[in-house]
């Protein structure tokens, strides 16, 4: 199954207060395995960046000046996500902002039925624990050394690992022979030849010599 894990960075908490998306990062999973396909863009919000928000993600108004607007990147984003389920941490937040931007662009919103919320998955699996992305990475031993500030693509990459763990993790060995075909991104199994299990003549001789040394074996009593 194809799924898209994504994250957004914004100018604030509520799109209804005039806040906008400034970064989108997304990556593709097929069978819970990253295919290497990604979507990433910065977006000019056409408004100043509040200091509090800049302190979270480090993205300044000066950096965003000249970046494409949401209207300029939305077609590429929608083409990337297609009709796949969308995995996000606190999906209400990210869906709220994406749909706010889609409405402003005069486009159809993405239905909530496509949302997979890892925050809700974590609350069900680990009641009473901390459910931030940092806390979940710590719980599952996922490396956070590259994360000094929030970033949409990096957070999506971390979230993809957390998502797999929340679903029970990938069983070791089942995907070792999986190759992702670049043209189709379809999982292909490479079969390994069966091991020869019949004992060789040399092994039979060694076994007979060993048995001959046994005194009063139980199967002869």
Cross-strand bridge partners of residue 5: 27, 87
Residue 155 labelled as part of a binding site? yes
User: What is the rounded CA–CA span in Å between residue 143 and residue 65?
Assistant: 32
User: What is the rounded CA–CA span in Å between residue 67 and residue 81?
Assistant: 21
DSSP string for residues in 99-159: HHHHHHTT-PPPPGGGEEEHHHHHHHHSTTS--SHHHHHHHTT---TT-SS--HHHHHHHH
What is the distance of C-alpha 172 from the center of its chain? 18
Residue 75 labelled as part of a binding site? no
- Please confirm, yes or no, whether 89 is among the known catalytic residues: no
Q: Which of 126, 150, 197, 207 is catalytic?
A: 150
Q: From the annotation, which residues make up the binding site? A: 7, 9, 57, 155
Q: Could you list the residues known to form a binding site for a divalent metal cation, using ranges.
A: 7, 9, 155
Bind-site residues for substrate: 7, 9, 57, 155
Q: Which residues are catalytic?
A: 150
């Amino acid at each position: 199954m194809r799924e898209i894990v994504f994250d957004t960075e914004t100018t604030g908490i509520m799109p209804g207060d005039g806040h906008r998306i400034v970064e989108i990062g997304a990556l593709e999973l097929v069978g819970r395995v990253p295919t290497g396909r990604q979507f990433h863009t910065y977006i000019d919000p056409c408004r100043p960046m509040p200091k509090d928000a800049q302190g979270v993600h480090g993205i300044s108004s000066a950096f965003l000046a000249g970046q494409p607007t949401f209207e300029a990147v939305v077609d590429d984003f929608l083409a990337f996500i297609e009709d796949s389920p969308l995995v996000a941490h606190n999906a209400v937040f990210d869906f709220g902002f994406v749909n706010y931007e889609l409405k402003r662009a005069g486009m159809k919103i993405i239905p909530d039925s496509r949302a997979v919320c890892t925050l809700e998955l974590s609350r069900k699996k680990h009641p009473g624990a901390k459910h931030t992305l940092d806390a979940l990475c710590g719980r599952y031993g996922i490396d956070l050394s590259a994360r000094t500030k929030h970033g949409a693509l990096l957070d999506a990459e971390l979230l993809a690992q957390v998502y797999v763990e929340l679903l029970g993790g990938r069983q070791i060995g089942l995907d070792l022979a999986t190759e992702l075909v670049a043209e189709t991104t379809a999982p292909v199994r490479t079969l390994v030849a069966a091991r020869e299990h019949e004992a060789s003549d040399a092994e039979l001789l060694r076994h007979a010599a060993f048995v001959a040394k046994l005194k009063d074996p139980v199967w002869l009593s």
